[in-house]
Each structure stands twice: as C-alpha cells, then as structure tokens.
Structure 1
Amino acid sequence: MRSAHTLIGSSRLRMAALASASLMALTVGAHAQQSTQLEEISVAGGGAGGNPATGRTVPGPPVAGGRPLREDPRGPVDGYVATRSATATKTNTPLIETPQSITVVGREQIDAQKAQTLTQATQYTAGVYSGTFGADTRVDYFTLRGFIASDYGIYRDGLQVLNYGFGTFKVETFGLERIEVLRGPAAVLFGAGNPGGIINQITKRPTAQPFGYVEVGGGSFGQVYGAFDIGGPADDSGKWFYRLTGFGRQGGTQVDGAPDDRGYIAPALTYRPDAGTSLTILTSYQRDSTAVTANFLPYSGTVRPNASGLRIPRSLNVGDPALNTFQREQVFAGYEFEHAIDATWTFRQNLRYSFSDGFQNSYLNQTGYVDAAETTLNRYQFLTSSKVGIFQVDNQAEARFFDGYFRHDLLLGLDYKRYDLHDNQGTNFTNFYPVPGLSIINPVYGQIRGRPAPYLVNADTFQQIGIYAQDQIKLTDQLTLVLGGRQDFADNVVRDRLTPANSSQRSDEAFSGRAALIYNFVDGLAPYVSYSTSFQPQIGSDANRRSFAPEYGEQVEVGVKFEPIGYGFFLTAAAFDLVRQNVVQPVPGTFFSSQLGEVRSRGVEVQAVANLAQGLNIVGAFTAYDLVTLKGEADQVGRTPTRIPEVLASIFADYTIPSGDWRGFGFGGGVRYVGSSFANVANTLVVPEYVLFDAQVHYTWGNWRAAINATNIGDRRFVSSCISANECFYGEARRVLGSISYKW
C-alpha cells in the first residue's frame, strides 16, 4: 500500500505546538454569537420509552415552543436510543446522517446492566468481542471487527487512552455518561486507533440543574462498593457549574486470594461567561489494587480435560496470595474550551495530561505442565514497573456556511501527542533461581524464592502531529457527501538502558483519507457507502530490538440505517471489507510482539436499539466475519488468527411497569452467544462456542431504587480465548450484585 518515510524532525513538533498556542490566542478574544449549552443530567435508570417510575432526567431549559432541547452529543441518552454523536465526525451530527457504523451505550443502559468495566458495558454491542483475555481486572480487552483494539483503540473524551505493553490505564465506568463504539478506520480525524475502530468514553460533566445521587451495593466474591455523584450551579451568577463523582470498592474476584480494590474521585468544573464561550475542566484520580486474574493456562486442562482427566479450577491462583500483586495509580487532568467566534466559525481546544504508575510482581504459568500426568503447572516469576505520561492537545475550527450551491460543515484541525514510557521488566531467569511448580490438585503457597532481575529497561518516547480537514457537504437536503484527509508526522524513539547499542529510532509520515455518501429518505431510511484508509504509528520494538513499522489499513463499507420518526427505534446494518497491514501480534510464550504481514477481515454487523413501549428497552446485535492472514510466515498464510471468534450474537431487554399497583417494578435479562475460535496458528485446536445468560430485577419507589443483577447466571465455565496451546483464559464466572440508590 504505502511506504514509510523519514522526513520528520523535532523542529516540526515544536512548530506545531507553537501554532496550536497561537491559534487559541487569536480566537479567545473574538466576539461570541452562538450558544453553548450545558448537558442535561441523568442519575439513574429510566428512559424515553416512557419510564416515569425512574424519574430518569433532570431537564434543562426548554427551547421555543416548550419542546426539550435536542440531545447533547456529550450528554445523557434518552432511554437506550441515542440520536447524536460527536465521535465519528468530531462535530455535532445526527447518527442517522453519519455514514459510518457506530453504537452509543448510554448511562441508563450501563446502570441497568450494572456494568462495572468497559468490557462488561460493551458485551451487547455489534462488532465487539469483549473480554478477549478473560476475567482480567487490570485492563479492558476487546476486539473490533476481529482486531485487538485495547492498545490504540481506547479513547476518553476524544483523546487517546493509550495502553502499550505493561503501561496501562483503566477508566472507571461510574464516571462515564456514555460509551461510543465507532467501527471502521477513524485515523482521518484521530490519527490513531487500529482500522477495526475505536471506543470513545464520554466523561460526566457539570450540569445546569442541581442534583445528587448515592449508591451502595455488594455481592459475589465479597465485593462491597459505594458511589456518589453530585453537581449543579456553583454560584448565583449562572456562570460556574460543578460536578463531583466518586466510587470506592473492596473485595475479591473469582480467583482465590486476588483482590479487586479501587478508589476513584473525579472533580469537574465549567465556566460559561457568556452564551458562546465555555471552559470545562475535567480531572480524575484512581488507585487500583488487584492481582493477575487472567491466568495463562494450557489448553489441556481448560478447554479439554488434561492427561489425568482433570480440569484446572477456575478459582486457582496460579501465582501466590502473598506475591500476586498488581497496583496502579492514574491521573487525568485537562480541559475542553469552546468559543463561538461569529455565526459561522467556532473554535475548540481539548487538552489533557494523563499519568499512570503501575507495578506487578507475580508468578505466572505460560509454558504448560511440569509432569506427563499434567497435574503440576510450570511457573516463573515476572516483575514490571511502568510509568506512563501522555500529553495531548486537539485544536478544531468549525465553520457552518452556505456557498450559494451547497451547505457545508467544515472542520479544520491540528493535534499533537507526546507519549513517554519508562518500562522495567524482570524475571527469575535473569537471576538464575527456580520457581516451584504448582499442583492443581493440592496447591502449596508461600514458596517465595527471590526477586527478579531486569531483562528490559527501556525509555520510550513517541510523538505525533496531525493536520486534518473534513467537509460534510449537503449536496441536496437528503444527500450528504463527507470528505476528509489527514497528514501525520510521527517519531518513535526506544532508548535501551541495559544495552544502549540496541536503542532505535524511526520517523514516519503518511496521509489518511475518507470519502463517504449517505442518503436520508424522509421515512427514516439512510443507505450509505464509504471508503477510508488509516495510519497507526507503532510504539516500541520487537524481541530483536527493531522498531515496529507503522500499521496501515484500508476499508470499504456499505450499510443502511433506519430511524423511523416517533417510533423510538434505531437499526444499523453494515457490510465491510477491511485489510490491515503490519499487524502487531503477541509472540506465544514471551512478553514480546512481532508484526504479521497482512490480515483481512470481511463481515456483516447488525445493531438494533429500541425504546419499544412505555418502560421497555431492547438492545440486539449480530456480527459475523471471515478473518484470514494474507501475508506473513508460511504457517500463518491462509489461516485465521488465534483468539478471535468470528460469530457473535446477543439480545438484552429491560422492562419497568409504568403504572398500576406494580408501578416501578422492573425486570429483564439478556443472552450472549460467542462462536468458536482457534487456539493455535495451525488452526487445529478449537475453543468451543458458548452461550451466557444475564438477568436483573429492580424496584423504584420515589427517589429510591433497589436492584439485583446477575451475569452468567448459570455460572458456565468457559474459555474466552487462547493465544496458543499454553495460553488460554477463563471467562467471567457468575457475578451477582445487589444495590440500593437514592437521588435528589
């Protein structure tokens, strides 16, 4: 497709940063003529489908005629059916006019399912396989259109939350207003994210209406938690607004002796001096104390009985309760600034600094059994200390105008990102001491032998500048043409502190583009077609200390959307042909990765979301695709990559009785089907398909709400995926949570 070039230097990075500051300075003082609204606030269940029992929304000010304001793309979703988003186009665009496949999971759906992680919140979304590496409390893992997107594909408020190696972040879902899953390449606007798509998490923001919400709960594995969410005006002038969100949890997991404790606090403040200007400061602090729960286990003994006819207990702590440790502190601090210059132009600047400090020390099994009877697992000790800092700024200038022939929504942007990782990894092999095996029949703990010595000490620096433009052109009242282009410049530097001679550096630049057409019929039907390319610079290096080449993607997508007016229903169906080059894959049995030549994903996706009747909300999804390696090692070509199910289907429903003696009582549930996948490169080992059932019951009276939620209610033991014959992962066991909340 395209080749990398070495044409960028640090001077360009400094020039772009100066240009960013200059652009902001020129626009801040301009005269404001357009309005900027604070979002409405939803603090607990309910929906447009008419669910008066839950008292779902604290309304904002009405517009002329007494009608409610249209949905804010960063605010609450009315029921389960979102109508607008700013993720696919970075502009406030109706979903029915967006020529790309996108699903919005709102706060009400998250609450109804009691989703405590991003993995759980996206389990009923088309194109997504959540929990790829099983019940992992450290990181949210998922695939989009068959490609791992947990590294470059997670965003928060339009800025990347980058996970590389063991330098990771994990966003607390109680602090989110909505989750938006954008499928297909998004590099033309974001400059990153694999071509399978991205997941953008939208943070709760200050509101014009005062409110309060508290919740306590607990359940499986001894978990207990408490949460609060308060906000509203901060002064009498109507210019300052605040919000404070907090969450705390203690308890265990499905792995014996492995905790899952968290503390989260998120202050936010909005200043709105006039109708056309707003500044929102978004911050959060989070501390996690948990363990390795996604054990690397052999195929024999998990997917199939082992040589002794046994299966490894799902609750087995492969590490050691005295040693299996994972801790992380993370901070997000930034702002969103918006200023309407005149009736045509609006300037926005989003800026954030993200920091993560993580530590892990544990015994792991990644190499199978010690004995022929397969009753004792081989283990080694692994230690890592990772510090990550990410500075990002995204400048946008948007113009809405009519040129005499067509209406335009023109977006011009300049963004900059700097990523710094200090990565220290060690094992017992470096220190030449053995780690005892672990019996799966009678495990013995407390055998601590030594402290690992480092085999890798790296300081990685990654910088990227992107200049982009997009025009949404109304050729007619029904036909919209979307054209976009972006030029990226990237630097990747790996400094090897153990062996400086192994340090590496490379610079790359590339152009990404998108062209799409969508036609909106008056009855709510909207067929579309799009072509897009992507460019993803890679961070770090492989086992031979070679810097990774950039990844490229190319996709054709055709689809149709259907949103009949007044029915509370939204359907999206899409078919796509996607090719991804230079795919980075983990090397089985190691902590390194390598790059495959080329992988193709072809498939179809269907997503339906509906507020069908008063109090009834439904979500359904179906995904099927064909994955094949086109270029790579001889044993990979023509094969399907491991750990990726190719068929997914799900349906979830929730009903609250709106009137009568049983008013406020509700119930519901869901079914999730996951197809089979392969456990080895040769495609001779298969991970079976499985079906899981979820259920919930709840009751709302006045401002109170009580609920009981259960996922995998049958407690089915299943393997979510395998990287190889020695690296398989158990999925989530049955999880039951009881909760009670109060709002005012």
Structure 2
Amino acid sequence: MSLSSCATLRASRLAVAVAAALSLPLAARAADSVTLPDGSRATQLDTVEVEGHAADLDQAAGTGTRLALSVMETPASVTVIDRGTLDRRGVRTTQDALSGIPGLTVASPPGNGNAVTYRGFSGSQITQLFNGIDVQYASIAARPVDAWQYERVEAIGGPSSFLYGAGAVGGTINYVTRLARLDRDEAAVQASWAAFRDATLAMGANLRIGGDDARQAIRLDVSTRDAETGIDQQRREATTLAASWLVQLAPTLRHTLAVEVQEEEDHRPYWGTPVRQPASGRLSVLPATVGRNYNVADGYYGQDVRWARSLLEWTPGERDTVRNTVYHYDALRDYRNVESYRLTPDNDGVIRSGALLQRHDQQLYGNRLEWTHEGALFGLPTQWATGLDVSYNRQTRFPLSLPATVDTVALDAVTPGHFLDVPGASLVHTPDRTNRLHTQAVYLENLTHLTPAVSLLTGLRRDRIVLDVVNHRAATSTNPARFERTYTPTTGRVALNWAFTSQASVYAQYSTAADPPAGILSTANFATLRDFDLTTGRQGEIGAKLQSQDGRSFATLAAYRIVRRDLAITDPANPGQTLPVGQQSARGVEASFGWRPSDALTVEGNLAWVDAALDDFYENVGGLSVSRAGNRPTNTPSRVGNLWVDYAFDPRWRAGVDLRGVSSRHANAANTLSTAGYATWGAHVGFAWNDSTELIVRGRNLGDRTYVAYTLGGTMVYLGDPRSWEIILRKRF
C-alpha cells in the first residue's frame, strides 16, 4: 500500500471506527429479562464493577522478566506505565509516555526516531520493543506514534540482552498494544483540539461475542491526527489502527490474531535550528530563528508500517503454560529533505546543506516458542521460563546523499526552494545494500525461593546472529559485493531479592549485555564490521522497594554501575583507522515515588542522577587522534526529575500540575560545547459531566520556555515544543 493512499484510508477507517463506537455499547449494555422464583418477570440491570487502587509495585513486571512476577518481586529497576496513568498524564504519543521512566530523556528529530538517553547510554544501546519483539532498528522504527492503541509502556534499566537479544546495555523499553479480552465489554471515544490546529479523534471498543459466557472477543482501536506545530509550515497526518480477535478454542487453549497499521506523513518536517556563531561554550539560538523551518518546501517524511501476530497459548495444567508467537513486520519509510543548517559567520543568514533522498524497506519474520513452569527444585518453590526465538530481518536502503552546500537563505526565509532545485537531485530510488539478519536464540530464566523471604533469580541467553550484506553498488576493496559475519553472544543475569516484609524488599543483581559494534546490524556496512566483534556490557545494581499496606504509597531506590567495553575508537597511532578497545561507563542513582494521602490527592515523581564517562576513547579531529578520556557522552544530562500532582477538589472537578527538569548536556565529545538545562511545567483542569464523560483542558510548557531537547553537533540543536493548550473530550461506554 502506498503512502499516498493514507488520506483515503484515514477517512474510511474513521467512519468504521465511529460506527463501531456507537453500536458496540448498545450490545454491551443491553438489559436482559429474567424470571423470578415466583414466576414474575423482572429486568436484570448491568453489573457494576467497583475497582480499587493497586500500588504500582503490585503490577506485573512485564518487560523485567518472563516469569509471573510483580514489580515488587523482581530484583531490578522496572517501570510500568499503565493505561490509566497514560490517560491521567495526557499522553498523546509514545514519546510523551517515556518521561515516566526515571532518568530517561527523549527527543524525536526525523532522522533519529525516539532518540533515547538512559543510564548514560543512547541510540542503539537502548532496545525499544513492540510487544516484546525487537525489530533491530529501534533508532528509526521507534519513531513516536499516537499512544491510543497502547495498553501500557514498560522499561527495565540496564543490560537486558539476556531477555531480548543483542543490544540493551543501557536499558529496554517495551510498547504493549491493547488486545481483545473475555472479561468485559467496553468502548470509549476521545476527541481533542489543540493549539496549532492540532486535531485528534480516537476510539476503542472490546466486544465479547456471546455475552458473559463468550468464547470469542474482538477489539478495535483507531486514532487519526491532523496537526500543525509551532514550526512554520510543518504538518503531520497520522493514522494508527490495532485490531485483534480472541478465540477460546478449548478451556486450556486460546488463540489471538492481532494486526496493526501505522501510517504517517510529515510535510516539511523540522530538522533543527542553527546555533549562534561562533559556536563556543554554551550554545544558544537567535530569537529570529526560533520556530523557523529551513527545510525545502516539499520536504517530506513518511512511514507505512504493518504488524501481524498470531498468539497461541496452551495451559495443559495449573503449573504449565506454553505460548507460541508468530510475527511479521513490514515497514516502508521515505525521506526527501535538506537536513543541515548553520549560520553565516556574521549570523545574518543560514547556510543549508545535506540534501538526502532516502528509502528504508524492511521486513521481519519470526517465531517465539516459550514454556513456563511452576514447581520445585530440591524441594524449594521455583519458576522456570525457557524459549526458542528465531527471526529473519531484511532491510534495503536507497540513499541519494548530496552533502555539499545547497545555498544560503535569509533568517526569515519561508519557503526556500524545492528538493529538485538541488544540483544532482532526482526522485529515483537506487538500492545501496541489503542487510539480512538470521537470528536463533535459546534462553532460560529461573526463580527459586531459598527461604520464604529470600529468592534467587537467574537468566541465561545464547544467540547466534548471522549477518549477510549484499552490496548493490560497484564493488571495491572497502565495499565488497558481499560479506558475512557471525556472532554468538552469551548473556545473563543473577539477582538476589530479600523481602523482609510483604511491603518491603532489597535486592542486588549482576547482568551482562552484548551490543552491535556499529550500532545497528540491520544497516551496518563492511567498514564498520570488518575488524569488530560485539561489544560487551556489565552492570551491578542494588536497590530497595517499599509500599504501604493499603497501597496508597510506594517508593523505589536503585544504585548502579555499568561498563561497556570494546567499542570503536580512533587508533591513536593511525587516525584513519579504528580499534575495538574503547570503554564507556556510567554510575548513578534513581528514585521513584507515589503518595496518595487521600482519595482526592495523588503525588507521583521520579529523580535520577548519572555520572557517565568515556573512559577510553579517541576521536579523529582534523586527521589527528585526540583522547576524550574522562569526558561525558553527548546528550547525557547528569540530573533528570519529574513531578505530577493531581487533586480532585470536588466530585466533578479535578486539577493538576506537572513539572520536568533536565540539567545541561554536552554537544560534542570534547565537552567544549554544551546546552543549558531547562525546566518546564504544565497544568490541567478536568470536569466530569457524569461517570462516563469528562472534559479536560490541558496546558503544556506554560512558561513558554525555549529549550534544547537534543543537540545535533556544534552547528544545530533540536528545540522542544513551545507553549500550547489542548481541550479533550473523553466518553466511556
């Protein structure tokens, strides 16, 4: 399906979504007539469910383990942001959701997707999963999408290759989609209108086929968004759809078929703002360039993503569960932009360069078979999880890169030219190379209770990764027609947890990771892989978790040290070559907390401090090899904090504020350039017309702070969003 069909699809899907939202509640809420013992007839009203509030630490650990453990029981730093929290915080996209993870920062320049920094590491050193599946291209594939279709977002800090394969030295993030369920019928519609003509309409519905005795259920979630931004002439159109069909084939056997569609078109996407020249010390931007878009008038980014999953679950006994997941992922992404800007020496004009036409064509096929078992080991209670994961990942890239200077435009330029105005530009996609990844992995995880209070959690994974690269261009000594590399990393975790009461525990853990040397194997070339094996990472972590008996308050604390070895550095004796001997490390402390002193007041927050360093690193600077040992990696703040306060001052009215603070970051490995830290705040007011309808007014960055969300070297920065407001109408059926 072509990207140009998005508008037609969006209209038809929206019509189906609205019709489903209006019809499903009638089926779900219809009253039934019943016969009383005396023979008379009466109407049976709907069942009313009253849900209590569970502390965050009682939630399933999800991404933190494959075993049936809660966050409290898992000896690791695990964060779970559920659907209720996403709604309460006004989360619009997957990027917005990530601020709930302690210490994490994220920005989304078009060429980077969700560019995450976590525990002192960034880029491909952070694994981003979709329903536990790694597409092995997260730096682009995890580009923000509307969050309506997601049930929750999960994260585990530090190395987790032992769970999900190569990568994840800094941490793992998992986006979990809503699926059909048999326990209830439900439906909801949400509409919002925001500053910069930002409009969104979304619906979701779950319908059991057969009422309370149903053995089938279907679910549909769809959202469509048409938005401009605070950047002139930038516009985003996006549609997401998730549908699933659950069938209880037998009392012990169920199957779910799930499909997802993500379509996005960004017209004239914003790539960044040039910094004031000469660039030195603290970077800054000219007021005249804030909100300006120096991309060409027909600049473009588009993605067309398809997911299909077949989930089969068999429970042959009370203590055993077998799951098999067959999955397919298909993505097509297109870029057509002028991406690099720098100010003239007199700060009177903008020099544009870096014209790029790019296409990514990626397919992923895989199957995961896993078995979990509860039993005894030497008479001690134990849980096991073991599995086999096989996948094939194929990606072809079609770059047309024109790095030379394009032109110089005025600071107040509005529509500076078109892509085909660039000398050498054309709209022809010529393949460069195809990367094919064949991965087979076997893993094992065990939890054994040594005493009623002390448990030992261990995990081990063995991967075999075969990378086969086909060069579609002219073969040379540094770019052969074809080459192949094989990697066989073994990673693991061992952790001890002591629950000295049912509401308090302490733990210690050691875990390892293996990381691709070139960052992303699905796009790596011969030069970056010729002399390199996978890098290695290890982490030591201690922590504590506390929660009150009534579930109204909780707190977590974790301290860690991570070391990543064998990363590529410039050869000190030969600046034109690289060596696999570098080292990077990070140590830090993270805390999260929640407090609900009354039914009306909720306070939540997190704080993090990290000391990250390039321990052994040389950089090629003008043909010279320069040591950067002891310097901080770029885009890595030392302190990050978040606070959310919600207060229901009336049965129908509630209000809240949110605050976020990020310390300064360096813009280069030399640490001679940096950006200022920043703090932003927002607020919201909500009014409930009744138990199922709510109107919310929300303001973001109310101080209208101009701040740098991400640095792009010494000439450009990516600015955060300006002050904005939003009105949300939410209806549940």
TM-score normalised by L of structure 1: 0.83
Aligned-partner SS, 1:500: coil
| AA of the residue aligned to 1:202 | V
Which 4+ stretches in 1 moved above 6 angstroms?
59-62, 301-309, 453-456, 593-596
- Distance change in 2, residues 1:534/1:287 (3 Å): same
In 2, Cα distance between the equivalents of 1:654 and 1:304? Answer: 42
Cα 1:616–1:280 change in 2 (3 A) is: farther
Aligned AA (1:710): G
Q: What amino acid sits opposite 2:591 in the alignment?
A: V
Q: CA deviation at 1:442?
A: 4.2
**In 2 relative to 1, CA 382–404 (structure 1 residues): closer, same or farther, beyond 3 Å?**
closer
2:706 to 704, 717, 724: 717
Q: Which shows bigger deviation, 473-482 or 333-342?
A: 333-342
Partner of 2:510: 531
Give the distance between the partners of 1:580 and 1:684, measured in 2 at CA.
24
Matching residue of 1:482: 457
Q: Counterpart of 2:563 in 1: which secondary structure?
A: strand
The 1:437/1:544 distance shift into structure 2, 3 A limit, reads farther
Aligned partners of 2:329, 2:278: CA distance in 1, in Å? 38
Contact 2:125 2:170 in 1 (8 A): no
Between Structure 1 and Structure 2, which shows a larger proportion of strand residues?
Answer: 2
Between 275-284 and 452-461, report the one with greater CA deviation. Answer: 452-461
- Residue equivalent to 1:608: 593
Q: What amino acid is the match of 1:360?
A: Y
* Partner of residue 632, structure 1: 617
Residue among 639, 642, 650 paired with 1:650: 642
- The residue that corresponds to 1:93 in the other structure is 69
Aligned-partner SS, 1:552: strand
Long gaps (5+) in structure 1: 1-42, 44-58, 70-76, 587-592
Distance 2:542 2:278 in 1: 40
Given residue 509 of structure 2, which amino acid in structure 1 is its aligned partner? S
Q: Deviations for 1:448-478, whole angstroms, at most 9, x for unmatched residues?
A: 4142477971111112111111110011111
Q: CA deviation at 1:291?
A: 4.2
Q: Does 1:517 align with 2:496?
A: yes
Give the equivalent residue in structure 1 for 2:633.
641
Where do residues 464-483 of structure 1 align in structure 2 (5 Å cutoff)?
Answer: 464-483=439-458
Does the Cα contact within 8 Å between 2:681 and 2:701 map onto a contact in 1? Answer: yes
Per the TM alignment, residue 542 of structure 1 is displaced from its structure 2 partner at its CA by 5.2
What residue number does 1:55 align with? Answer: none
* Residue in structure 1 matched with residue 259 of structure 2 by the alignment: 283
Contact 2:538 2:563 survives alignment (8 Å): yes
Count residues with an aligned counterpart.
659
1:435 counterpart SS class: strand
Asked if residue 741 in structure 1 is aligned to residue 730 in structure 2, the reply is yes
Structure 2: how far apart are the matches of 1:307 and 1:327? 31
**Match of 1:561?**
545
CA–CA separation in structure 1 for the residues paired with 2:271 and 2:580? 24
The alpha-carbon distance between structure 1 residues 470 and 741, as it changes in their structure 2 partners (threshold 3 A), is same
For structure 2, list consecutive stretches of 5 or more residues without a partner in the other structure.
Answer: 1-27, 29-45, 571-577, 619-625
Greater displacement, 388-397 / 670-679: 388-397
Corresponding letter in the other structure for 1:113:
R
Q: Secondary structure at the match of 1:520?
A: strand
2:602 alignment partner, SS class: strand
Match of 1:541 among 495, 518, 524: 524
**Cα drift, residue 276 of structure 1:** 2.5
Using the alignment, how far apart are the partners of 1:397 and 1:516 within structure 2? 21
**2 CA distance for matches of 1:498 and 1:149?**
28
Deviations 1:627-686 (A, max 9, x none): 1111221432221111111111111122224xxxx3121110111110011112211112
Of residues 646, 651, 671, the one that matches 1:663 is 651
Matches of 1:141 and 1:349, distance apart in 2:
31
Partner SS state of residue 136, structure 2: coil
CA shift at 1:500, angstroms?
3.5
| Residue number among 364, 373, 379 corresponding to 2:339 in the alignment | 364
Q: Which of structures 1 and 2 has the larger relative contact order (alpha carbons within 8 angstroms, sep 6+)?
A: 1
Give the structure 1 partner of residue 416 of structure 2. Answer: 445
For 1:414-472, what per-residue CA distance to the aligned partner results, in whole angstroms no more than 9, with x for missing partners? 1112211110111235xx8x622222134552354142477971111112111111110
Write the distance in 1 (CA, Å) between the matches of 2:174 and 2:714.
34
User: How many angstroms does 1:514 deviate by?
Assistant: 0.9
1:344, distance to aligned residue in structure 2 (A)? 2.9
Is the 2:282–2:675 Cα contact (8 Å) retained in structure 1?
no
The structural deviation recorded for 1:168 is: 6.0
CA contact (8 A) 1:143 1:150 kept: no
1:262 to 211, 214, 238: 238
> Any conservation in 1 of the 2:661–2:678 contact (CA below 8 Å)?
yes
The offset of 1:141, in angstroms, is: 2.1
The equivalent of 2:179 in structure 1 is: 205
**Are residue 570 (structure 1) and residue 559 (structure 2) matched?**
no
* Equivalent residues in 2 for 1:496-515, closer than 5 Å: 496-501=471-476, 502=479, 503-515=482-494
1:75-94 to 2 correspondences below 5 Å: 83-94=59-70
Residue in 1 that maps onto 2:665: 677
Matched AA of 1:508: Y
2:399 match: secondary structure = strand
Query: In the TM superposition, what is the alpha-carbon distance from 1:311 to its structure 2 partner?
Result: 3.8
Give the Cα–Cα distance (whole angstroms) in 2 for the partners of residues 221 and 585 of structure 1. 45
Of 689-698 and 275-284, more deviation after overlay is shown by 275-284
CA drift at 1:533: 0.6
Tell me by how many angstroms 1:527 deviates.
Answer: 0.5
Shift of 1:387: 0.8
TM-score using structure 2 length: 0.84
Change (3 A) 1:424 1:308: closer
Q: How far off is 1:711 after superposition?
A: 1.7
Give the secondary structure class of the aligned counterpart of 1:221. coil
The letter of the residue matching 2:354 is Y
Pairing 1:186-201 to 2, within 5 Å after superposition: 186-201=160-175
3-state DSSP of counterpart to 1:580: strand
Q: 2: distance between equivalents of 1:167 and 1:199?
A: 13
Relative distance call for 1:645 and 1:455 in structure 2 (3 A) is farther
Identity of aligned residues (%): 19
